[in-house]
Amino acid sequence: MTDPAATAFDALVARRSHSRVTDEAPMQEELERLLGAMTSIADHSRLRPWRVIALRGDARHRLARGLAKATGSDLKKTIGKATRAPLVLAIVVSPRSSSKVPLWEQESVANGVAHALELLLHEAGWGCFWRTGRETRHKALRKAHELKKSEYLLGWIHVGGIPDRDRTSKPRKPLDLERHLTSL
Ligand SMILES: Cc1cc2nc3c(=O)[nH]c(=O)nc-3n(C[C@H](O)[C@H](O)[C@H](O)COP(=O)(O)O)c2cc1C
């Protein structure tokens, strides 16, 4: 476990992605607890237009097979990619029918869930890395994840333990606030 952050601000400043992770992973119960916090994600009309598919063990081979089909790559290579972490969380936009809330707003909610999930997982001491690719919306990958017609993927958060050597990180370059915060 990393030190628990005192505030959301501290947690956000401390968050880092980890491309290399160990074989440890959060159990289903912990995942359910963290996802339970997503009830507070800003969500127009509270449609909850998202879901997360957890892939562990051989279930990750679905992703590998989908990637191989979508990219024409060798299955051995894609198995290597899909099994870099013990837990792979596929983030799915799962649109709800609404006359008021367009698709882009619903996708924003699913994006919010993915970012918040990365933050909470990091705060809980887990290493995460959000990965996508040009083939993320390919039908072979849709099929591999058993998506419904209206659903689509935002990518995969790879989750595992943080190797000891990766526990320290350099401070980030500060924001150029003249560009990122303007007033009219
Ligand atoms: C939607 C999304 C997709 C991403 N896809 C990839 C990817 O396919 N490959 C990659 O190297 N980084 C990808 N990244 C970036 C990494 O997840 C990570 O944010 C980046 O390496 C910077 O590290 P940091 O999160 O510690 O700033 C993606 C990020 C987002 C938000």
Which structure tokens are listed for 35? 């996802």
In a domain, 178, yes or no: no
Residue 94 lies in a domain: yes
- CATH number of the domain residue 113 falls in: 3.40.109.10
Q: Is the pLDDT of residue 55 over 60?
A: yes
**Residue 17 C-alpha to ligand 1 middle, in angstroms?**
8
Any ligand 1 atom below 6 A from CB of 16:
yes
Residue 74 lies inside a defined structural domain of this protein:
yes
Nearest to 28 by CA among 5, 52, 8, 12: 52
For 20-43, what is the mean pLDDT? 98
62-113 tens-digit pLDDT? 999 999 999 999 999 999 999 999 999 999 999 999 999 999 999 999 999 9
pLDDT of 142: 98
* Distance from C-alpha of 45 to C-alpha of 108, rounded to nearest angstrom: 13
Range(s) of the domain holding residue 119: 17-164
pLDDT at 6: 83
* Closest residue to atom 30 of ligand 1, CA basis: 130
Taking the CA of residue 154 as reference, the ligand 1 atom at the shortest distance is: 1
Does a structural domain hold residue 35?
Answer: yes
Mean pLDDT value across the chain: 96
Q: For ligand 1, say whether the CB of 20 is within 6 Å of any of its atoms.
A: no
Q: Is residue 42 part of a domain?
A: yes
Q: Which of 131, 152, 170 to mutate to test the pocket of ligand 1 (most atoms within 8 A of CB)?
A: 131
Q: Is 125 in the pocket of ligand 1 (CB under 6 A)?
A: no
> Please, are residues 46 and 121 in contact by the beta-carbon 8 Å criterion?
no
Quote the CA–CA distance of 66 and 53 in Å, as a whole number: 15
Per residue in 113-143, pLDDT tens?
999 999 999 999 999 999 999 999 999 999 9
In a domain, 182, yes or no: no
> Percentage of residues in the chain with pLDDT exceeding 90?
94
Does 173 reside within a domain?
A: no
CA 131 – CA 74 distance, rounded (Å): 19
Which pLDDT score is estimated for 3?
59
Ligand 1 pocket, residue 130 CB under 6 Å = yes
Residue 177 lies in a domain: no
In the predicted structure, residue 34 carries a pLDDT above the cut 60 = yes
Say if ligand 1 is within 6 A of residue 131 CB.
Answer: yes
Question: How many domains is the chain built from?
Answer: 1
